[in-house]
A and B are shown apart, each in its own frame.
Chain A
Amino acid sequence: MNEEQIQRYSRHIILKEIGGKGQQKLFDGKVLIIGAGGLGAPIALYLAAAGVGTIGIADADDVDLSNLQRQVIHFTPDIGKPKVDSAREKMQAINPDVKVVTYKEWVSAANITGIIADYDFVVDGTDNFAAKFLINDACVMAGKPYSHGGILAFDGQTMTIQPGVSACYRCIFPEPPPKDAIPTCSQAGVIGVLPGVLGTIQATEAIKFLLGKGDLLTNRLLTYSALRMKFREVPLKRRATCPVCGDHPSIVELKDELDAMTVCDLGR
């Protein structure tokens, strides 16, 4: 580390759980963020600020005026710009040390395995169940640890998955809800600060994973109610009957959940 880096990361380096060695682990770490929106914004900003060496960010969308109430990585002059470009500019402005790799595409059964292959940890910041189930299945099949996050209105949930070790998303939710069954953020609304809380927890998990410190949020679903200002933790375990990580998986190859595909595209 040069003089400037020692100064930049000094508050990390003095932590006994991080130190110079831990900071080096963060430099060497590679984290992929899928979704450059409400959850992706704080995740990307904090991981860049923390000095995670390589950060991938995937999103096919452009910045829209209605995003700015919560997607704090995008600014008013960014409207119309690809979200991944807008995000990369802010991440590099915070920390020029960080290599940002952008994927201006939606993840799909065809491309996700290739995209996640280069990373140590994946963070789900997507808004629709098709992507959430695809990310789970791809990460389970590739043995890639990841953080699940979901938000709606005033409530959020998050859990970290270590494939083969801890409960996966399908251990709780075996299959996606039918299209239009669950209201989306664009239909039901979302309080702007909510993804800040959940995304920051997800970024914390990515950092802890890279450091190898502390206890990950595995086998526990953390739920948050902003209205009641309460966190709750529901203990979970792997299910032998899980269709993807169970003893006799019925899902052995990736497929796009077309029925759940457009869940958050409605009313945009």
Chain B
Amino acid sequence: MKVTINGKETALSENPARTIDSLLEELDVNQRLYVTVEFNGEVLDRTEHETTPVADGDTIEFLYFMGGGRS
């Protein structure tokens, strides 16, 4: 199956049990415990990561914390 992650089409193995939470682990996403996930245009609550299944054609954005500036 194919999904779009941060604007890039990405091939994933077929896995009907895959959720946003397991995808974060599978891809070893940066800031995995803190990253914000936008799923098909909607920002998910963290509690929804485990309950949101990932299907063919989904669009996923990982939004990272970026701090630095001053020092």
Q: A residues within 8 Å of B by Cβ? A: 35-40, 59, 61, 64, 67, 124-129, 132, 149-152, 155-157, 171-174, 177-178, 181-182, 184-186, 188, 190, 195, 221, 232, 234-237, 239, 241, 263-265, 268
By a CB distance below 8 angstroms, the chain A residues around B41 are 235, 237
Q: Which of B3-20 contact A (CB under 8 A)?
A: 6-7
By a CB distance below 8 angstroms, the chain A residues around B43 are 171-172, 236, 239
From A35, A177, A188, A239, B69 is in contact (CB under 8 Å) with: A35
Closest to B34 in A: A177
In the assembled complex, the Cα of A155 lies from the Cα of B38 at a distance in Å of: 19
Provided the pairs A171-B43, A234-B38 are in contact, do residues A150 and B70 lie with their beta carbons within 8 angstroms? no
Contact in complex: A129, B65 (CB < 8 Å): yes
By a CB distance below 8 angstroms, the chain B residues around A172 are 36, 43, 63
By a CB distance below 8 angstroms, the chain A residues around B71 are 37, 61, 64, 67, 127, 184-186, 264-265, 268
In the assembled complex, the Cα of A172 lies from the Cα of B8 at a distance in Å of: 21
By a CB distance below 8 angstroms, the chain A residues around B31 are 177, 181-182
Closest to B41 in A: A235
By a CB distance below 8 angstroms, the chain B residues around A37 are 69-71
Report whether over half of chain B's contact residues are helix, strand or loop; otherwise say mixed.
loop
Q: B residues within 8 Å of A by Cβ? A: 6-7, 31, 33-34, 36, 38, 41, 43, 45, 61, 63-71
Shortest Cβ distance from residue B56 to the other chain A in the assembled complex, whole angstroms = 21
Report whether over half of chain A's contact residues are helix, strand or loop; otherwise say mixed.
loop
Provided the pairs A181-B34, A235-B41, A236-B38 are in contact, do residues A173 and B65 lie with their beta carbons within 8 angstroms? yes
Provided the pairs A181-B34, A236-B38 are in contact, do residues A126 and B70 lie with their beta carbons within 8 angstroms? yes
Instruction: Please list 25 pairs of residues, one from A and one from B, whose beta carbons are closer than 8 Å in the complex, sorted by A's number.
Output: A35-B70, A36-B70, A67-B71, A125-B70, A126-B70, A127-B71, A128-B70, A150-B66, A152-B67, A152-B68, A155-B64, A155-B66, A156-B66, A173-B63, A182-B34, A182-B67, A184-B67, A185-B67, A188-B68, A195-B69, A234-B38, A234-B63, A236-B38, A237-B41, A241-B45
